């Protein structure tokens, strides 16, 4: 491991302090990055880093873990752009102590990780595998011993494959199986965990996975996707009381990926398309969870594909949350023909527009449109860039700029009255980026996949100095 305890320099060679704003101009993003300090944030604000199980753990066949839908999906030719899988990933399952030391060296307050259902209940439903839970107990206690709060996500997309054989999330029983699994995790880890998020980004595990076919299980069926989305949210509703029963002092909530969907022009057809996109991407999840109803306009649009809602479902789904986790990466700019990239837009290595203002706009909109909104944590925000190692350094000034401009955007929303309590950078380290395999690097920490060496990128050193 290199650079893990370096504190002497927080900035890269193209660093903020060297590019300070002129006396007359507004501060540049670099200057704002350099001047950002912990004191700028509300008292008690949490700084963290985040990962997920399948993206980092590896050890796909150890200690009783059964295959997940991602193991199955990765084995299908052409599904993962570099032909890889998460079978080894960052080998975190074996290197967890070193990785917790790395997190502690960063000086963050909190670490968000996910639990792999196929480790805990390999058959999907039924017997609990103690060895699987042992691993997450080691992580939890290891974090606490290092003074770092554990934040657990229960479902970050690695459904036991055996449940997919029975329909996966299109099968209502999966929601009940999820609640049983949530109970098993909460019963073991209990109040030691600061927060439990039931689901990460249900849009991805339903629409992207069952309708667009880009993620596991890779089907292309809109009715199946909307059924999956409903059962995911039902699973959230069923799991919440289990978490509260077993971990009454922990916070319980859900994580959504959200982003403004703005019209490409003033033309009525573009405005209508943007409204439609907002309904499908944001309100389809926000409204059931925070209002107890599906958005009527979008419901009308989906026609025969509407999900199989049963009496009482929406009451369960809309039970109060202690927090809402928001993952923000970009906005959509929508025309009648689909999404467009504005002229002159800067993009990340994912091709996603870099638009920090979208975070402010999103947070303010949530605050306005959803009375009684629970406190918000930004549970993911970050960027992929084609980072390269240069000796023992990785210079990634664009990531530092990305993170700092988004933190400033968060502060703008906070000063406007939105109750934002924390920020988790995605990701602690480079990892398996789903259908893109290892081609996209989101980490603050560079991973050399040949040697499993970890190297703090310049952005990590900047974050370390910020949270100090």
Alpha carbon distance 442, 384 (integer Å): 4
- 350 in Cβ contact with 440 (< 8 Å): yes
Binding letters toward ligand IFM, positions 134-163, x by CB under 6 A: ------------------------------
Report the SS3 class of residue 32: helix
CB of 419 to ligand IFM, least distance (A): 23
50: phi then psi, degrees, rounded to nearest 5: -135, 155
Residue with smaller CB distance to ligand IFM, 16 or 382: 382
Residue with smaller CB distance to ligand IFM, 56 or 314: 56
CB of 393 to ligand IFM, least distance (A): 24
CB of 261 to ligand IFM, least distance (A): 17
Residue with smaller CB distance to ligand IFM, 426 or 462: 426
Which among 460, 434, 467, 450 has a CA at the least distance from the CA of 56?
434
Binding letters toward ligand IFM, positions 440-459, x by CB under 6 A: --x-----------------
Residue with smaller CB distance to ligand IFM, 155 or 294: 155
The DSSP output letter for 9 is -
Binding letters toward ligand IFM, positions 393-412, x by CB under 6 A: --------------------
CB of 431 to ligand IFM, least distance (A): 7
Binding letters toward ligand IFM, positions 186-205, x by CB under 6 A: ---------------x----
Q: How many CA atoms lie within 13 A of 158 on its CB side?
A: 30
Which stretches does DSSP call E strand in 162-257? 195-200, 251-257
Residue with smaller CB distance to ligand IFM, 298 or 327: 327
Which among 364, 457, 449 has a CA at the least distance from the CA of 91?
449
Please tell me whether residue 426 binds ligand IFM under the rule CB under 6 A: yes
Contacts of 78 (CB under 8 A, 6+ apart): none
Tell which positions 50-79 bind ligand IFM, by CB under 6 A. Answer: 52, 55
- 380 in Cβ contact with 327 (< 8 Å): yes
Tell which positions 227-286 bind ligand IFM, by CB under 6 A. Answer: none
CB of 207 to ligand IFM, least distance (A): 14
The DSSP output letter for 91 is -
269: phi then psi, degrees, rounded to nearest 5: -70, -30
How many helical (H) and strand (E) elements, i.e. helices and strands, does the chain have? 17, 13
CB of 442 to ligand IFM, least distance (A): 6
Rounded to a whole number of angstroms, the CA Rg of the chain reads: 21
Contacts of 202 (CB under 8 A, 6+ apart): 229, 232, 233, 236, 254, 256, 285
Alpha carbon distance 106, 48 (integer Å): 9
Residue with smaller CB distance to ligand IFM, 178 or 442: 442
CB of 254 to ligand IFM, least distance (A): 14
Please pick, from the candidates 164, 170, 198, 327, the single residue that binds ligand IFM as defined by CB under 6 A: 327
Report the SS3 class of residue 61: coil
CB of 55 to ligand IFM, least distance (A): 6
Active-site pick, 380, 401, 433, 439? 380
| Residue 23 falls in the annotated catalytic set | no
Residue with smaller CB distance to ligand IFM, 86 or 160: 86
Pairing relationship of beta strands 332-335 and 338-339 according to DSSP bridges: antiparallel
CB environment 69-97: b (16+ within 10 A), e (fewer): bbbbbbeeeebbeeebbbbbbbbbbebbe
Residue with smaller CB distance to ligand IFM, 129 or 381: 381
Q: Considering CB under 6 A, how many residues would be counted as binding ligand IFM?
A: 8
Report the SS3 class of residue 48: strand
End-to-end, the C-alpha distance of the chain in Å comes to 21
Annotated catalytic residues are: 380
Which residues lie near ligand IFM (CB under 6 A)? Answer: 52, 55, 201, 327, 380, 426, 433, 442
């Amino acid at each position: 491991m290199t650079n893990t305890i370096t504190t002497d320099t927080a900035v890269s060679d193209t660093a903020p302090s060297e590019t300070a704003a002129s006396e007359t101009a507004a501060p540049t993003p670099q200057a704002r990055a350099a001047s950002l300090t912990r004191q700028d944030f509300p008292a008690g604000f949490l700084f963290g880093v985040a990962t997920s199980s399948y993206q980092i753990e590896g050890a796909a066949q150890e200690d009783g873990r059964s295959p997940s839908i991602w193991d199955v999906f990765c084995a299908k030719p052409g599904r993962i752009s570099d032909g890889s899988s998460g079978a080894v990933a960052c080998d975190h399952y074996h290197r967890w102590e070193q990785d917790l030391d790395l997190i502690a060296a960063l000086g963050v307050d909190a670490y968000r990780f996910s639990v792999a259902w196929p480790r805990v209940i390999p058959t999907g439903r039924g017997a609990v595998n103690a060895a699987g839970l042992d691993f997450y107990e080691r992580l939890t206690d290891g974090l606490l011993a290092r003074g770092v709060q554990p934040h657990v996500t229960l479902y970050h997309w690695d459904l036991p494959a055996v449940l997919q054989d029975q329909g996966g999330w299109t099968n209502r029983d999966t929601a009940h199986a999820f609640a049983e699994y949530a109970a098993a995790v909460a019963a073991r880890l209990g109040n030691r965990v600061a927060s439990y998020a039931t689901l990460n980004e249900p849009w991805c595990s339903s629409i992207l996975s069952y309708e667009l076919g880009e993620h596991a299980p890779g089907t292309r069926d809109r009715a199946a996707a909307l059924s999956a989305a409903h059962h995911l949210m039902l699973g959230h509703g069923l799991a919440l009381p289990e978490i509260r029963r077993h971990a009454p002092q922990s916070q319980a909530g859900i994580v959504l990926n959200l982003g403004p969907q703005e019209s490409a022009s003033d033309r009525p057809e573009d405005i209508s398309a943007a409204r439609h996109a907002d309904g499908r991407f944001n309100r389809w999840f926000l409204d059931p969870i925070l209002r107890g109803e599906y958005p009527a306009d979008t419901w009308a649009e989906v026609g025969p594909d509407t999900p199989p809602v049963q009496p009482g479902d929406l009451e369960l789904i809309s039970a109060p949350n202690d927090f809402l986790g928001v993952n923000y990466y970009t906005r959509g700019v929508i025309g009648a023909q689909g999404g467009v990239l504005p002229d002159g837009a800067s993009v990340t290595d994912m091709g996603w527009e870099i638009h920090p203002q979208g975070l402010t706009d999103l947070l303010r909109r949530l605050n306005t449109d959803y009375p009684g909104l629970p406190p918000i944590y930004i549970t993911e925000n970050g960027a992929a860039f084609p980072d390269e190692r240069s000796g023992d350094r990785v210079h990634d000034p664009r990531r530092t700029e990305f993170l700092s401009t988004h933190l400033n955007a968060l502060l703008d929303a906070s000063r406007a009255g939105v109750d934002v309590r924390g920020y988790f950078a995605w990701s602690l380290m480079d990892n398996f980026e789903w259908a893109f395999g290892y081609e996209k690097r989101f980490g603050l920490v560079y991973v050399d996949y040949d040697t499993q060496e970890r190297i703090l990128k310049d952005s990590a050193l900047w974050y370390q100095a910020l949270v100090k």
